[in-house]
A and B are shown apart, each in its own frame.
With several copies, the nearest count.
Chain A
Amino acid sequence: MPAQDPDEHRHGTEHHWNPPEETEAKVRALESLLVEAGVLTPADIDQMVDEFETNLGPMNGAKVVAKAWVDPAYRERLLADASTAIEELGFRGLQTEVVVAVENSPTVHHMVVCTLCSCYPWTLLGIPPTWFKDNAYRSRSVLEPRSVLADFGVTLGPDVEVKVWDTSAEVRYLVIPQRPAGTEQMAEAELADLVTRDSMLGVGFALAPEAVG
């Protein structure tokens, strides 16, 4: 395992306790034993991986946000009871059973973290990115949110209050980013393209219309 450069503290890159090929062998070995034990079949795994990769991801959450932007009544329902509101669009599910939506504004910015592990709303946002599960984000978000945002190239105004939601139990959080200026004429579907995963975790803003071109 490569020695850590003692002075280099930017080690957010992927780590390996064991060489990757060794871990791969272990996972392969585990699968083959579970198959032999009749616990599962390779096809079961393939089917589930495909489901994750195809039907789960930030595009789901983006639809919820876009609808909230254009439909005030839906926004009210989402803020009142997000679990039921996301169910209307079919995005309630595993690790996304109990959801609370928190809305950004010019004076309040919400951020989501799981300092203890990697709790994340799978059916709304898919599989969490590595940085969300990594030590730097988990240790610093609750302590120095603005410094973390700087790592994402995000700067908040001096008078903006930050609210950090540490997902410590079964409630999952969805940030509703501010609707970008100049999108009054955009259709709901187009608006959804402006909603990035990061903006729904509070580590980014929704894209400006030009950004999507």
Chain B
Amino acid sequence: MNGPHDLGGRHGFGTVTPEPGEPPWHHDWESRMHVMALASQVRGFFVLDEQRHACEKLPPAMYIHCNYYERWFAAVAGLLVSKGVITQDQLDARVAQFLAGEAKAPVDDGSGDGLGDTLVSIIHSGATAMRDPVGEPVLAVGDAVVAKNLQVPTHHRLPSYVKGKAGVVTAIPGAFTLNDSLAHGGGEDPTYVYTVAFSAGDLWGEAAESPADTVYLDLFETYLTPA
């Protein structure tokens, strides 16, 4: 999708303003939003790829302007409603109650099923997207490739700034579940990923700071054609 998230090489976003000593989260609700997204995935309501696509599909001005976890809320809440876990009416009503101070944060009553333990264990076990390869990779390290002119409105991980550009395969990290499929309720469709090197000169022409610089991306086999 050529969405508002597809930012590589765009102009006009101003200075990077790092915040010294920034905490992981600025607000308690941000940390809780983060965990609720993970919990929803662990409960199987949706997968990470669906969450990313839900973020990309937010109205462009909202995506660009809002706080990171505002986006997560909009994406996750939208998915939970569309998956039938909660209803929009329920959510709107409860939000109104909180805004009016008529609702209180829920208190734990020990009725959990150990989800916290599960989540913590997943943090350290990971949830690899790598899968056993299916067949041999079509490309090899050293191959000259061109990134496809992929202009579909569906989810994919090919930034606009490399579409149609020529690069060279420098590594083959392995086969991974295909985001393009999972984001739309499809199967894992394990697909080889290739690390591809693009020269800054090829990407940015005269605007490159130094043509000899390199930008590397990890691109699914389906995004590449031999040069």
Residues of A that sit less than 8 Å from B by CB: 1, 3-4, 6-7, 9-18, 20-49, 51-53, 55-57, 90, 92-98, 100, 115-118, 122-123, 126-127, 129-131, 133-140, 142-148, 151-152, 161-171, 198, 203
Contact = CB atoms under 8 A, between A and B. Distances in A.
B138 interface: no
Contacts of B174: 98
Contacts of A12: 13-17
B34 to A, nearest CB: 7
B167 to A, nearest CB: 12
B14 A16 contact: no
Given A11-B59, A143-B204, A6 B9 contact: no
B39 A40 contact: yes
B214 A161 contact: yes
The 6 closest A-B pairs by CB, nearest first: A12-B17, A17-B66, A47-B116, A6-B74, A115-B8, A29-B94
20 contacts: A3-B62, A4-B61, A12-B17, A24-B29, A27-B69, A28-B98, A40-B36, A41-B106, A46-B108, A47-B119, A48-B35, A49-B32, A57-B24, A94-B126, A130-B68, A136-B16, A161-B214, A162-B213, A169-B173, A170-B130
Name B's interface SS: mixed
Given A34-B40, A97-B128, 4 more contacts: A7-B88, A32-B94, A130-B68, A170-B218
B157 interface: yes
Contacts of B66: 15-18
Given A169-B176, A169-B179, A151 B16 contact: yes
A100 B193 CA distance: 14
Contacts of B97: 29
B120 interface: yes
Interface of B: 5-19, 22, 24-27, 29-36, 38-40, 43, 52, 55, 57-62, 64-70, 73-78, 80-82, 85-86, 88, 90-91, 94-95, 97-99, 103, 105-112, 115-117, 119-120, 122-130, 151, 157-159, 161, 171, 173-174, 176, 179, 193, 195, 200, 203-204, 207, 209-210, 212-220
Contact of B116 (A48, A126, A142, A203): A48
Contacts of A90: 124
B127 A161 contact: no
B35 A49 contact: yes
A98 B112 contact: no
A191 to B, nearest CB: 21
Contacts of A25: 95, 98-99
A14 B82 CA distance: 27
Nearest to A148: B16
Contacts of B32: 27, 31, 45, 49
Given A32-B106, A40-B39, A118 B68 contact: yes
A28 B86 contact: no
B18 A129 contact: yes
Given A41-B112, A43-B112, A48-B120, A26 B157 contact: no
Nearest to A102: B216
Nearest to A166: B217
A6 B90 contact: no
A44 B161 contact: no
A40 B115 CA distance: 7
Contacts of B10: 135, 139
Given A41-B108, A151-B16, A6 B126 contact: no
Given A41-B112, A116-B5, A170-B193, A9 B57 contact: yes
Contact of B11 (A57, A116, A139): A139
Contact of B124 (A10, A123, A203): A123
Contact of B103 (A28, A131, A137): A28
A169 B124 contact: no
Given A12-B14, A135-B64, A39 B95 contact: no
